[in-house]
Structure 1
Amino acid sequence: MSSAIELIVDGFAQLKDRQSLEDLRMHRRRLAVDLKARTGFDCRLSITQIEQDIAAIEAGLNTLSGPIGG
């Protein structure tokens, strides 16, 4: 079964909405930075999930990186 982020990325990719994908990636990157800066909590699982989300978003962005108009 596809994860929620994969479904969201697929939707944005089908709409060719690069800006929304880039915004989503930036949001996830900020979350990762914030979690990595936390002390006193074990956020490794959350950070791993966010990094997987970023990879899925980047894969979606790569599908839009083909020739323009192609």
Structure 2
Amino acid sequence: MPSATIELIVSAYVRLRNRRALDDMRELRRGLLKDLQIAAGSDSRRALEQVQEDLRIIEQGLEQLRLPQVTPPQNEWR
């Protein structure tokens, strides 16, 4: 189940074209994922799944920033 909060945050950073913030979020979650995997147990399964889902959402945001930006054509009537 994706977190609506992380989706809103990633969406805002994409609109602002703030790649650094997304990279920082990704690195933080990668570290958290590593720590959770080390302490793997039945109690951490849900947390692992949530962090992996957060990473998926962040990666999607970063991919949007990698895509070429297309600007709409100027209105010729002006």
Amino acid at match of 2:23: E
Instruction: Name the structure 2 match of 1:23.
Output: 24
With normalisation by structure 1, the TM-score equals 0.88
Give the Cα–Cα distance (whole angstroms) in 1 for the partners of residues 14 and 33 of structure 2.
23
Quick one: percent identity of the two aligned structures? 40
Give structure 2 stretches of 5+ with no counterpart. Answer: 71-78
Runs of 4+ in 1 over 6 A off after TM superposition: none
Residue type of the alignment partner of 2:37: K
Instruction: From the superposition, tell whether residues 64 and 40 of structure 1 become closer, same or farther in structure 2 (CA, over 3 Å).
Output: closer
Q: How well do the aligned residues superpose, as a CA RMSD in angstroms?
A: 1.7
TM-score (norm 2): 0.79
- CA-to-aligned-CA distance 1:9-62 (integer Å, 9 cap, x gap): 000000000010011001001000001111566200000000000000000001
Equivalent residue number for residue 7 of structure 1: 8
5+ residue gaps, structure 1:
none
Which is higher, the Rg of structure 1 or of structure 2?
A: 2
Alignment: residue pair count: 68
